[in-house]
Chain A
Amino acid sequence: MSLDPDAPLRFSPLHRLQWEEAQQRHVILYPEGLVELNATSAEILKRCDGEHTLRTIVEELERKYQTEGLTDDVREFLEIALENGWIETAA
């Protein structure tokens, strides 16, 4: 199943995304678990606010990092995030 580029994405209400000062990175927290994120992954997840889509996240990140061709990488990460339940498609 491939991710619809125009489906709004939101961060899971059963997980928490937060900045950890001691680790100098974002982490995802959930029951019995903790995932340490690199800067790019955090930038993607922070945008999963119920309004952004794959397409708009890519647009913003390409602007922010002044680059092109991020679609495949962002899609791949979002699909992993969906599979892990960190994000969901907003109905």
Chain B
Amino acid sequence: MKTAGSKPPLSPPRWLLAELTYACPLQCPYCSNPVDFARHKEELTTEGWKRVLSEAREMGAVQLGFSGGEPLTRPDLEELVAHARRLGYYSNLITSGYGLSAERIAALKAAGLDHIQVSIQAPEQDLSDWLAGTESFAHKKQVARWVKEQGYPMVLCVVIHRHNIEQMEGILEMAVELGADYLELANTQYYGWARLNRAQLMPTREQFERAEAVARRYKERLKGKMKIYYVIPDYYEDRPKACMNGWGTTFLTIAPDGAALPCHAARELPIDEFPNVRRMSIREIWEESEIFNRFRGFDWMPEPCRSCDEKTKDYGGCRCQAYLLTGDMTATDPVCAKSPHRHLIDQAIAEAEAPPEAPLVFRNPKASRRFFET
């Protein structure tokens, strides 16, 4: 047994998410970026990003996601991809596909990019374009075909919510038509813009169960042809997810301005300042910063987690979810049936049966400024 105050064992980061920019031509109302993203304007330079990649790789990071916003808006993307390849990363471009040409897909391949994850909002044009806040559906499908033609593993990502969950079959058929090697069916996680729009996004339990049954049927049928990652909507579970495989154990996100986060949603926590790669090395941040150490191990846990025999499986769940729902980031994740705050989740589930009428708030700089300008 560990004694109180002892240092938890430290594992090196394996997964680096490089959020190159908050700029994005799309306006998805479930975006995981913080709602006040427009506050952070100073992006890291090319040299700054190269140093981040080098330092994280030296510590052991090997899976790399180039994300955003829309990473294609960075003109130095090819240069960063080439740097990542030289370092031995397995790199992934997480993109809307907006504005992506066959030529740039080839240039990225030549630079050493390993795969491209294209997101499509829905299996039909009107809905997809409405959700994206831009006319993009036809081009996204073209991009998916180019990605496949050029020999990348084709990874298709669809975020699931009440506006497209009834089309689960159409989504799966679209993935088959596009020849996806991997399909990520990501039930919306309620952080960032999705938390803001939760009442308009959350499916009912019945919708969720029907969609899951469809996904399970295709998963069985497509075994060996397409790998389906089904991200469960944790509100409909009674145990929390092992968020980020535990705080500060595996994942490192670097935000566009150089802030280092234990997960890409962490910027919503009531923490005044995250360590920044402009002032600290990745090693210092990972090993020594107070914030990366704060929720490592088990000593920080309150009850019911502290004495729970499942704490080694789920690490108390998600700190962001605990904070967004209870106002206390050290609380047990309210998804857990043992949490004294579980009623907050049950209320949200009940509300999904008859959601209040309200427009979706689309993710854009103008909407974002309302969260910090007075």
Question: A: which residues have CB within 8 A of B?
Answer: 13-14, 16, 18, 20, 22-23, 27, 29-32, 34, 83, 85
Binds A, one of B59-67, B282-290, B308-316, B360-368: B59-67
Chain B hits for A32, CB < 8 A: 63, 92, 155, 182, 184, 229
**A85-B63 in contact given A14-B153, A31-B92 (Cβ < 8 Å):** no
Per-position binary interface string of chain B over residues 183-196, scored 1 when its CB falls under 8 Å from any chain A CB and 0 otherwise = 01000000000000
Judge whether B184 and A16 touch: CB under 8 Å: no
Q: How large, as a class, is the contact surface on chain B?
A: 20 to 34
Contact B181 A20 (CB under 8 A): no
B12 an interface residue at 8 Å Cβ cutoff?
yes
> Which of B92, B117, B227 has the most chain A CB within a 10 Å cutoff?
B227
Chain B residues with Cβ below 8 Å from A18 are 88, 90
- A31 and B62 in contact (CB under 8 A), knowing A16-B114, A85-B224? no
Provide a sorted-by-A list of 6 A–B residue pairs whose CB atoms are within 8 angstroms: A22-B59, A27-B62, A29-B63, A34-B14, A34-B62, A34-B90
Interface residues of B (CB under 8 A from A): 12, 14, 58-60, 62-63, 88, 90, 92, 114-115, 117, 151, 153, 155, 181-182, 184, 224, 227, 229
Our count of residue pairs bridging A and B at CB distance below 8 angstroms stands at: 41
A12 to chain B, nearest CB (A): 9
Q: Closest A residue to B152 by CB, please name it.
A: A14
The CA-CA distance from A29 to B92 in the complex, in Å, is 11
* Other 5 A-B pairs with CB < 8 A, given A14-B153, A31-B117: A16-B114, A22-B58, A31-B155, A32-B63, A83-B224
Q: Give the distance in Å from the alpha carbon of A13 to the alpha carbon of B62 in the complex.
A: 18
A83 to B92, CA, bound (A): 24
Q: How far does the alpha carbon of A29 sit from the alpha carbon of B12 in the complex, in Å? A: 17
Shortest 8 CB-CB contacts between residues of A and residues of B: A22-B60, A29-B90, A14-B153, A31-B155, A31-B182, A31-B115, A31-B153, A16-B90
Q: How far is the CA of A22 from the CA of B90 in the complex (A)?
A: 15
What distance in Å separates the Cβ of A15 from its nearest Cβ neighbour in chain B? 8
**A14-B153, A20-B60, A85-B224 known; A29 vs B14 contact (CB < 8 Å):** no
Residue of A nearest to B90 (CB): A29
